[in-house]
Every structure is written in C-alpha cells, then in structure tokens.
Amino acid sequence: MTDQIFFNISDYWSFYLAFTAFVLVLLGLDLGIFHRSAHEVRFKEAAIWSTVWILLAVTFSFGLNRYIEWKVGSDPGLITQWGDPHKIATQLSLEFLTGYVVEKSLSIDNLFIFVVVFNYFAVPLKYQHRILFYGILGALIFRAIFIALGSVLMQYEAVVMIFGVFLIFTGVKIFFAPEKPIAPDKNPVIRVLKRFLPVTPHIEGQSFFVRKDRVLYATPLLVALVFIELTDIVFAVDSVPAIYAITREPFIVFTSNVFAILGLRALYFMLAGVMDKFHLLKFGLGIVLIFVGLKMIWLNHAFGGKFPITWSLSIIGGVIGTAVLLSWIFPKRPGTEPSEPQP
C-alpha cells in the first residue's frame, strides 16, 4: 500500500473544518427542526431519512471524485506525483464508497444492541430518537479520536500486522462464539454510574436528569445512552482498523465513518421490527472482518501494495448481500433466540 496521502491534514485542514461544520449543521437541523418534538419514528419517515443519508454519501463521493480530478489535472506537479488525474480520482472516490459500505455493514451490529437496550429499559418509541441522537453525537467524537490515533499508528508496519491479525481473530470468533444475552446492569461502568448518581426507577419524560427534593437523579434514558456509547467504543475497535485496510487517507476514513454513523438512526427505525430476520448477517460480517484483516497482512502486499479497490467493493458488497438474502431464504427456527434478561 502506498504511503502517499492526498489529503494531508496540514494542507487540507480547512476541508476537515468545513466537513465538521457541515455535519453540525445537519445535526442541528435534525434535532432542532425535524425532530424538535418527541414522536415515534415510523417506517416511512425512517425510510425517507435513510435514503437521504445514502444519497448524501453518494453525492459526496461524486464531489470528491470531481475535485480530485480537477485538482490533479490543473497542477503539473501533482500529475507527476499521482499520474492520471481520472485514475487517482476514481481510486480515492471508490475507497470512500468501499469504506462507507464497510462501516455501514459493521454498524449493523449496533442496531441489534439498540433493540436489546431499548427493550431492557422499556424506552418508549417516541424517546428513542433523542437517545440515538446524543449517542451518535458521542460516537462521532470518539470515532474522530480513534481515527486520529489510527492515522499515526498505521504508519508502522508492525501495528498494521497486529490490527490485521486482530480483525481475522475477531471475524473467526464470530463463527464460534455462542450468543450471550446482554445485561446492561452488569456492566462495570453502569454500576459505577449508579453508585455515584441515583437513578429514578421510571422514565421521566424525555429528560436525562431530574431533580427531586433538591437531589439530582439520572433517569433510565441516561443509563441507556451511556451503555450505547460504551458499546460503540467497543465496536470502533473493530471498525476503524477495518477501514484503514481500505484506505490510508484520514479524510476518507473520517468522512466515510461519519456518513455511516449519521444514517444509523434512520436505518434502525426502518429495520427495528425485522432485525431478528437477519440472523445470518453476523457470519457475513465475520467474513468481511477476515477479508479486511487479510488485506492488511497479506493481500495488499501480494498485489504490489494495493489490493484492487473495485474487487474489495464487490467482495464486501457481495458477502453482505448474500448474508441478507440467505437470512430471508432460510429463516431462523423458533426457539433459537438467546433469552434476554429482564430489568
């Protein structure tokens, strides 16, 4: 894999700031206007928003392609450095799309967690969007930190190999690890939270905190939010190294992560009622992790430093699509779901 970086932070810091400002505006419009009042997000609304987020990602990819081709084509020095403007523009824009598909696929694990946590704490549908909004806002911050660390660590070949082996191990583990029920109250961070901050036994509207008799209480909504944030940090340990197997461009890693996360809430509300139908999807995700791990430790080197990005996109998309299709063709037998703990 080439060590050249097109979007160097020192030269393109304004791009990072502009994109971050763009995301903040979108989030402000989301919560401040479109979801200002708490309400149940129905399938139609979720499907529309999911389509909007996907179209925004595709539009961004097209704009990225056009900009890179123009930038390289207008600078003889960049042509000498990068070669054919059309080729490098296509390469980097496809890296964005592939990274987006990888992150979108791996984030599906989060959706299963959302279902379990909301059922566990009996969170009404009309308050779930509020929790996911702040949960995803926190996820964006943590992902930015992980990506910044990754951009430094991935410069060392030994680290690349370690992450590659880790991803392969994680992918293989998915095939053999038994499904276990999730018990948020057993999480040590949640226990510490409850020890230092009293929690109300019931949900108090859409508030995360309430004050009673001059005592500040957390509500079950805050506990659910904290647990969702913790699980996202765990998932980021897999997803961030996985996308660095696709591209070494921090800007592409960051933007593809952000677009995948932004569309996560809409995808959840659209699929929440049928999540149990995708029981074979975890095996597809396991294969994807194994594949990207192999890219890091072997395939990229075997193909002269860069495994063909079109092949990567086709393989990842094919694996996920096949897993979804087989889940519908061969539905899970009744009685095979792991039991869920009760609060």
pLDDT of amino acid 34 = 66
Cβ pair 291, 316 in contact under 8 A: yes
| Residue 241 in domain | yes
CA distance 257 to 263: 10
| Residue 339 in domain | no
Looking up tokens 């890219």, which residue turns up? 295
What is the torsional sign of CA 325, 337, 102, 311?
negative
CB burial of residue 17 (10 Å; 0-12, 13-18, 19+):
exposed
Q: Can you name the residues that pair with 66 across neighbouring β-strands? A: none
| Residue 25 in domain | yes
| Residue 2 in domain | no
| Residue 214 in domain | yes
DSSP state of 234: H
| Residue 113 in domain | yes
CA distance 43 to 269: 7
Consecutive H or E run containing 216: strand 215-218
Cβ pair 199, 223 in contact under 8 A: yes
Range of the domain at 84: 9-329
CA distance 314 to 98: 9
pTM, rounded to two decimals? 0.86
Number of structural domains in the chain: 1
pLDDT of amino acid 91 = 95
Query: Which residues have a Cβ under 8 Å from the Cβ of 108 and sit 6 or more positions away?
Result: 267, 278, 281, 285
| Residue 125 in domain | yes
Query: Which residues have a Cβ under 8 Å from the Cβ of 239 and sit 6 or more positions away?
Result: 102, 103, 106, 107, 257
pLDDT band at 30 (very low <50, low <70, confident <90, very high): confident
| Residue 338 in domain | no
For 103-162, write each residue's pLDDT tens digit.
998 888 788 888 888 888 888 888 998 898 888 889 888 888 998 888 888 888 899 999
pLDDT of amino acid 231 = 85
